[in-house]
Every structure is written in structure tokens, then in C-alpha cells.
Structure 1
């Protein structure tokens, strides 16, 4: 491109390029770039001029060329498709009339901070260093699928609106980031797609606000994050997908508000997470699904758990904060799959690891009661008997209380009315206490039951004591067997 074809504004940019000098057309640093469509020729640069500079621009010996432009209106399509640029590119606080086309290009570094764009087409883009989109405003989708970024990706305070575009607002699927994915304060109206992404550092969506009501709002399935994934104070309208994600450090959803009524709120099935923090937040609106997830430390406050959960196959090493079993059990009752034995076993194991045997027994008792609802009527009846008598073996002292009560009733009844002996000349001296024990204990005999025969109502009482004794003995044996088999 000949310099005679350049406007005075473009000539200024052209002459600054070989020395890497910055050109700033802004009237003030806090200028509203959204009004860039009204900027005149004194601030207008054609995209073709920038392309010519980057691909075949002038150079000076001993100088490092770079494109550093701020506060300009860029007209035409800024296209570097499949091109290779060895210079740093900074187009900050600029207004783009058309969507930049960077598909398949290779850049040293790209900075679009504070700019206003109708979208960005940069799938499979390769950036050796950092890609900055801090504070960008985009009225169309951002396509960065398959991009390879050697350094960090900055999208903090960026706002992307893709409503009605028929595609996700932000496409970072299968992107590779060599450092951090830094996007606190991101605003996205439409789906944010991160499935298959790989982040060597940490991912940060603190204070982000993502909206795609009734649909997938954050697709981070099979994402891999080598350290932490921060989503503190995140606000979402739509559901979050984390199925198959691998997060080596902490997934932090503290203070987050996740809302998708009538459907899933968070799906994190089959994922592997070092720590999952769900705390200091209102209850999720929608279903919390952690099916088949592997979590080392689950920080889950009962108040965060929604009305419906899916915990089948969830495995965790520790559960914090330490809460009484009465506070944890209701969340297991909310499982959409009904009775899930595995969830009760996991909660029991968590309490046993911290030495809270009492809470572990309460969970096991609740498990038996929940299982009872799935049985036939006679199974439920027998379950009620075991529960009332010995608490399914988890409350053995209750059996002693029943035995002592029945022993007292029988002893008093037969002390007031001695049953007649079967053979008066051979019968031992009648003892109401040991006679009642003979009736209650099916495997022990004191010689009283076989020597005396009560009549009328007292005979009915003896039958009731015999039946009660057998029931107590059977339930105690069943409870002890269950306890021993668990241990």
C-alpha cells in the first residue's frame, strides 16, 4: 500500500508502526467507546491499512515494530485469516464497524481491551502470548473455539450479547490456555461454551453474570483446570454443565446464585474435583446433580441444597462443615431417584472418618426407614416392629427397656394371681419373676413355665409374653448380625 493512498490519520498510524509507538485518538481516558460510530475521519482508520501494516509494513533497523492504536474507528473488515503476524497488536478502546476475521491466524500478542465490536470470528486462533479482551463490549458472538493461547486469556468485565444469534455468546470450546482464564465480572447474554477446554492455570468467573434462561448457560463439560476454578458470587439464569470435568484444585461456588427452576441447576456428574465449595449461597433453584462424581473434599452447607438432588454414585472423602446428622439427612430424602442406598453409605462413612459414631448410626437408621417404604406391606410391618423394638439394631438398649417393661407386667400379674401347678406334688415353689422370664426368653428355662398352667386371661397374657419374647429375640439377633456384617 502506497502512503499517497493514506489519510492523515492513517499516515500517523503508519509512521508510528516501525518504532512500536502508541497512537491514541481518545479525547479522555473514560470516553464512551459505544459512540464510536459518530467519530469523524480524524479518528477513522481503514481495516485494510492495518492489515497491510501487520503483514508487510515498514521496518526500521534497531526498532521493534508494533501496532498500538487506541480510540480509533476501524472501518471495513479487519481480516487476518490464516495469516501470520510477528508483531504485537494492540487495538484498545477502538470501535469496529465489522466483525474481525482472525480464523486460523497466528499472532504474537493481541489486545482488544475496552473496544466495541459486533462480534469476533477467531476460531483456531494461535496467540503466542496473551489475549486481552478486558472490558470489551460485543453485540455478537465471540468464536474462539479451538484457539491456542500460550499465555493468559483476559476477559474481565467484558460484555457479550448474542440473543437471537442462534449460537453461543462465547465459544471457548476445546480452547487451550497456557496460563489463567481470567474473566471476573464477565457479562454474557447467551450460552458460554467451555466444553473440552484446557486451562493450565486457574479459571476465574468471580462476579460473572450469565443469562440463558431455561437452557444451558455455562457448558464446561470435560473441561480440565490444573488448579482452581473460581465462580464466587456468580449469578446464572440457566443451568451449568460440568459433566466429566477435571478440576485439580477447588471449584468454588461460594455466594453464587444459580437459578433454573423446573430443570437442572448444576450438573456435575462423572467429574473429578479436588474440592467443591457450595456455601454461603441461597438454595439453588433447580436440581443439583452430582451423580458418579469423585470429590476429595465436599464443602456443602445444607442451606444451599435445593428441593431436588441426584447423589447416586457420588463419592467424597470428607464432608464439611461438620453438621449433625439431622441437618444432613433431609437432603438425601430429596433424591429424584428415590431410595439411594449409596448416598446413605457415603454419609455414614464421612461421619465415621471424623469419629462421630452416633451420627453414623442415625444415618444408618434413616437408611433402613427409607428402605422400608420400598417394601411390600408385610415387609413394612416387620420393619416397623424392628424399628419400634430395637431401632433396627442401632438402638439395642431399647430392647432392654421392652424386656424390663414386659418382665414387670408379667411379674406383677402373676404375683397377684398364681397359676395352678400341673402336678401339685412335683411342682417347684412358684416364682412370678422367673416364671415371666421363662415366658420371655425362648432359649433359657428356669423350670417354671413347664410346671404351671395359667387360665383365662392370664393364659392369654402368657401367650403374648412368649410371642413378644420371640419377636424381641429375633429383632435383636437381626440387628446384631447387621451391625457385625457392616463392621
Structure 2
């Protein structure tokens, strides 16, 4: 490049590059780049100058070339497609007139912190160090699909996209990106449009704490087949649109503590992840449906009031659930499953209560399961189910059997004490005992010799028949309940 055509500002940058020195055009510390369109030639550097500098600029013996530029306006399109740049690039709080294009480039390090750009095309980018875009303001798309970053990616406090401007592709595309350290998109990241992490591999933590993702009526965060090396933290996340996380694998936790997930009329959270834990504690009530089909978790932490009105829980597997709540409160979510009766969901909740030793809650869940199942049966099976429920609570309320037996025995004993039945063979009959006579009628496998020796007459005979029928019915329902209890063990 003909360096004689350089402006004074460009000459400063050119000379400083070879020596690794910094050039700062800011008139005050922390001056924002939002007003960069008004900056004059005294702090404007042409993109073609920077490209020539980075690709084949001067070298000083014993010095490491380093582009350190602060508060500059970069006019034109900085095109570094497929370029190999030896020195790190540090463009801090700069204003770009046109999109930055580093498609397929090989860079040592790229720092765009607090800069303002129309867009960034970094598809297939290779960075030997870190990629920093903290505090950036990007009016259009940030495309990092297929990028390989040896260090971390920093997006804290960045603003991507513009409110009210719909895009036909992700506003922040990290599809199939490979990051060998952390992905830090916390600290107030704001994205107007879809944020996509489909197929991304992140060796460290993924952080979206305090981020705001806005794509109402669409998908705010898409992470299909995301593979994380540790945790995905999204505490206090605000997602307006669907959070879609199918096929995600995390050895640690997905932390949505204090999050607000809002997609009224649609699905607010859809996840089928394999992770250590899913935390939704202190989260606001979810606006929209939640789908956790096929999730495999060691620990699920969600308050009953966080569940929305529509859930899909078939295949959700967890070893523990917290915080510990009465079974009646946990059952509310299972009753909202849009798939109707889902036996697996009841079995999971039962197992979770048993693991912590709360057998009473486990029995309550199983009773609720039988009642929910009853609604799916034919009328005659439902009638039998109601009978089992009223008598012994499907075997999960064994004290009911004793109450029914004692009540029938008491009624029978009083009735036959008032009107003693006639002896069939007066000379051979034992003394009449109304209690044991009632027991003979009630218990089909017990014989105290009273029923065979005495016979009631008239209406009392029909009352005796009723006791026999009720006794047989009660005995069979008790047997069914005992069988079910033994099979559970």
C-alpha cells in the first residue's frame, strides 16, 4: 500500500502497529462509540488501511505486531476473509461504518469490546486465543457458525439486533461453534431475535445470567444438540419467546434460578436434556407450556407454583425432586399434562418420595395415579374402581378396610341382637352370638358355626344377604389392594 496517502490518524495507527503500541482517539475515558457516525477525519481510519496493515504491514525487529486501536471510526468494509493475521486485533470502542467480515480467517486474538457495528460475519473463523465482544452494539447479525475458538468467547453486556426488526435468520448464530473454554453471555446481554447454539460444543461453562432474549411469538434461544463441558447458567434470564433445548448434554446443571420464561399461547420451555440438575427455583410462574419429555436428570428443583397450566412430562426421569413439598401440591402439575394420563410421571414422583423416605406421600401419588387411570376405563371398570377407592383406597388406604369391617360388624351385631334369627336345629344349635353371627356373614373364609345354625327371616334375611355380598366385595377389594402392595415391594 502507498503509505504516502495515509492521513495523520492512519499514520499513527500504521507506525504503532509494528511496535505493538496503542492508539487511543477517545477524548475522555470510557467514551461510548454510539456517536461514532459523527466522528471526523481526525479519528477515522479506512478499512483498507487496516486490512493492508494486518495482512502485510511493517515489522520491527524484536517487537510483536499488535493492532491496538481505541475510539476510532472505521470507514468502509473491513474484509479479512480467509486472511491469516499474525498479530492480535484489539479494536476497542470503535465505530464501524460497515459489517466486519472475518469469514474463514485465522486470527491470534480478536477483541471488539464496546464497539458499534452493523454486523459481524465470522463464519468458520479460527481464533487461537479468545474472542471478546463484551458491551458491543451490533445492529444486525453476528454469524459465528462453525467457528473454532481456542479460548473463551465473551459477550457480556452486548446488544445484538434491533427491537422491532425481524430477521429471517438468527441474530446471534453460534451453530456448530467449538469453544475450548467458557461462553460468557451474561452481564446484561440483550438479543432482539433468535439466539442459536445448535450443535455447539463448549468445553467450559455456558453463562446467560441476567440476559434478555426477545423474540416474541418465535424462538428466543435454540440449543439443539448443544454439548457443554460443565454447566449452563441462566439465572434471572428473561426469555420472551420459546427456549428450545432438545438433545442437550450437560454433565453439570441447567440453572434457570429466578428466570422468567414467557411465550403465551405457545411453548415457553422445551427441553430433552441429559444433565445432572435442572434448577427452576425462585423462577416466576412460566407463561406458556413446558415440555420436559425425555429429560434425564439426577435432581429436579422446581416449586409447584412455577409449573404452567400446560405441561408435557412423559419420559421425564429424575432421581430427586425439590424442594420437598406435600404430594398434593406436586400432583397438580401431573394433572395438567396435555397428554392426559401419563403413568410414567406418577411412577417417577413416587420413586422420588420413596428415596427420601416419605412413604405416605408415595402412597398418595399412587392413589392419585389409580384415580387418573380410572377415568380412561370403560364404565363397568370405573364402577369397580370407585368401589376399590371407597373401600380400601386401591390398597393405599388400608385403614379404610378396618373401618368398613368394623362398621358393618357393628350394624350387623346390633341388628341381630334386636331380632335374633331362628335356630335351624334348636336342640343342636350353639348359643346365639350376634357378633360372631355377623362375622360369619361378613368373612367368607371364616366359620364360627353361627351362620350354619341360625337363619334370619323376612327382611332380616335380606339384610343378612346384604352383609354376605358386602363381605365378599370387601374381601376381594382388600385382596386386590394387598396384591398391589406386594407387587410394589
TM-score (norm 1): 0.98
Structure-2 separation of matches of 1:206 and 1:251: 11
Cα contact 2:292–2:312 (8 A) shared by 1: yes
User: What is the match of residue 111 of structure 2?
Assistant: 111
Q: Within the alignment, does 1:189 sit opposite 2:192 as a pair? A: yes
Distance apart, 1:422 and its partner CA = 2.2
Q: 1:177 aligns with which of 176, 179, 185?
A: 179
Which residue number in structure 2 is paired with residue 357 of structure 1?
359
Deviation per residue, 1:33-78 (Å, 9 max, x gap): 1111111110110000000000000011011111110111101110
Structure 1 unpaired stretches of 5+? none
Match of 2:219 in 1: 216
Q: CA deviation at 1:443?
A: 1.1
The corresponding residue for 2:317 is 315
Deviations 1:3-51 (A, max 9, x none): 1011111011100000010000011123231111111110110000000
Residue of structure 1 in register with 2:247 after alignment: 244
Q: Secondary structure at the match of 1:462?
A: helix
Structure 2 distance, partners of 1:287, 1:436, is 56
Check the 8 A contact 1:281/1:303 in 2, yes or no. no
Q: Report deviation, 1:224.
A: 0.8
The alpha carbon displacement at 1:427 in A equals 2.5
1:202 matched residue in structure 2: 205
Deviation at 1:321, TM superposition (A): 1.4
CA contact (8 A) 1:249 1:274 kept: yes
> Is the contact between residue 399 and residue 472 of structure 1 (CA under 8 Å) also seen in structure 2?
yes
Measured against aligned partners, the alpha-carbon deviations of 1:61-103 in whole angstroms (never above 9, x if no partner) come to 0111111101111011100101110100011111101001111
Give the C-alpha shift of residue 419 in structure 1: 1.1
2:270 equivalent to 1:267: yes
Where structure 2 has 5 or more consecutive residues not aligned to the other structure, the ranges are none
1:381-400 → structure 2 map (5 Å cutoff): 381-400=383-402
Partners of 1:23 and 1:70 within 8 A in 2: yes
Aligned length: 486
- 2: CA distance, partners of 1:71 / 1:165: 29
How far is the alpha carbon of 1:460 from its aligned partner?
1.5
Q: Distance in 1 between matches of 2:32 and 2:126?
A: 30
Q: What's 1:280 paired with?
A: 282
Shift of 1:379: 1.1
Secondary structure at the counterpart of residue 31 of structure 1 = coil
Conserved? CA contact 2:442–2:467, under 8 Å? yes
Query: For residues 166 and 415 of structure 1, what CA distance do their matches in structure 2 show?
Result: 87
RMSD: 0.9
Residue pairs, 1:5-20, within 5 angstroms: 5-20=5-20
Summarize the alignment of residues 290-439 of structure 1 with structure 2, pairs less than 5 Å apart.
Answer: 290-439=292-441
SS across alignment from 2:422: coil
Q: Secondary structure at the match of 1:306?
A: coil
1:335-379 per-residue CA deviation (whole Å, 9 max, x = no partner) reads 111101001111111111111111111111111111111111111
* 3-state SS of paired residue (1:33): coil
Check conservation: 2:32, 2:114, Cα contact below 8 A.
no
Counterpart position of 1:149? 149
Match of 2:94 in 1: 94
2:451 to 449, 452, 456: 449
In 1, Cα distance between the equivalents of 2:122 and 2:406?
Answer: 81
Query: Once structures 1 and 2 are overlaid, which stretch shifts more, 299-308 or 11-20?
Result: 299-308
Other-structure match for 1:473: 475
- Aligned twin of 1:232: 235
Q: How does 1:63-74 map to 2 (within 5 A)?
A: 63-74=63-74
Kept in 1, the 8 Å contact 2:26–2:70? The answer is yes
After TM superposition, the score normalised by the length of structure 2 is: 0.98
Give the CA deviation at 1:246.
Answer: 0.3
In structure 2, how many angstroms separate the alpha carbons of the residues matched to 1:155 and 1:400?
Answer: 66
Partners in 2 of 1:282 and 1:82 — Cα distance? Answer: 46
Counterpart in the other structure of 2:460? 458
**Residue of structure 2 in register with 1:137 after alignment:** 137
- What is the CA-CA distance between 1:177 and the residue it aligns to? 0.6
- Structure 1 residue 423: Cα displacement: 2.7
How far the C-alpha of 1:280 sits from its partner, in A, is 0.3
Is residue 298–residue 319 contact of structure 1 (8 Å, CA) maintained in 2?
A: yes
Q: Secondary structure at the match of 1:458?
A: helix
Is 1:149–1:176's contact at 8 Å kept on the other side of the alignment? yes
